[in-house]
Structure 1
Amino acid sequence: MAVLSESRASLRFFGDDLDPDQLTGLLGCPPTKSERKGEEIVAKVTGQRRIARSGGWRLQAERREPGDFDAQISEILDQLTEDMDVWRDITARYRADIFCGLFMKEGNEGISLSNETLERLAVRGLKIDFDIYDRSDD
């Protein structure tokens, strides 16, 4: 199995009553992107406008080529609080996950997660959401 060509990862929280400033205070790090429910959002590239259906808070890791999901999760979590009471509270109140985009250039690329990474996600109540993109010609 070939090494995954590229990976992208971000921590995401969503909820109708999500206050990005409050979440930032609890986690100890500003988000890459956030919005409150009802806020107008303007797309950077297209300029299209939309209204946020829910509150959101996202912290992105740097893109990795080749893919290195373990390093991306560490990059994200190392910036945030280690207080597990805070994590239990916010993951109970909001939809929370680590979103991962996996980009393949060949048909049989793969990636694995270490036990340490899986444990760090589990104790925080975070699930993993994968989108897998196949750029191969097959």
Structure 2
Amino acid sequence: MAHINKSKLSLRISGELLVPDEVTQALRASPTFSHAKGEEIRSNNSGGVRIARSGMWSLSIDDRSPENLDGQLRHLFDQLTNDLDVWKKINDDYSVDLFAGLFMAGSNEGLTISASVVKMMADRKLEIGFDIYGG
């Protein structure tokens, strides 16, 4: 089985009362993208403007080609606090998830995530979702 061609990874935190600076301070990392409810958000593609209906804090990890989702997850967690009480509060207050985009070049490509990284996700009560794009 060949590795998946490319992987993307983001931690996404959202909530109506989310204040990006508070999440930044709690997790001890700066987001790639953030906004508070009511802020204007300009689309990079169209230039259009919309008003945020809720707050968002997102940290994206550089794409990997070939895929190395396990390494991306380790890199993400290395940047963030290890304090599980902070993660509990974040999970209690907001919607939190990991998002992975997987881009295949052909068929029958795959990946693995190590038990130690799965434990890191479980300790922080993080779900991971996958969008998989065919080659």
TM (normalized to structure 1)? Answer: 0.95
> 1:106, 1:54 → 2: CA distance?
38
SS in structure 1 opposite 2:131?
Answer: strand
Partner residue of 1:47? 47
Partner residue of 1:94? 94
* Mapping for residues 109-128 of structure 1, pairs under 5 Å: 109-128=109-128
> 2:114, 2:95 → 1: CA distance?
24
State the shift of 1:10 in Å: 0.7
> 1:5, 1:11 → 2: CA distance?
21
Partner residue of 2:106? 106
TM (normalized to structure 2)? Answer: 0.97
State the shift of 1:45 in Å: 2.9
Q: Deviations over 1:76-102 (max 9, x none)?
A: 110111111001110111111110000
* Mapping for residues 1-138 of structure 1, pairs under 5 Å: 1-135=1-135
State the shift of 1:37 in Å: 1.2
> 1:51, 1:74 → 2: CA distance?
34
Q: Deviations over 1:50-80 (max 9, x none)?
A: 1112110000101000000011111111011
State the shift of 1:46 in Å: 2.1
> 2:120, 2:33 → 1: CA distance?
23
SS in structure 2 opposite 1:63?
Answer: strand
Superposed CA RMSD in Å reads 0.8
Aligned AA (1:26)? A
SS in structure 2 opposite 1:78?
Answer: helix
> 1:51, 1:110 → 2: CA distance?
39
> 1:37, 1:100 → 2: CA distance?
25
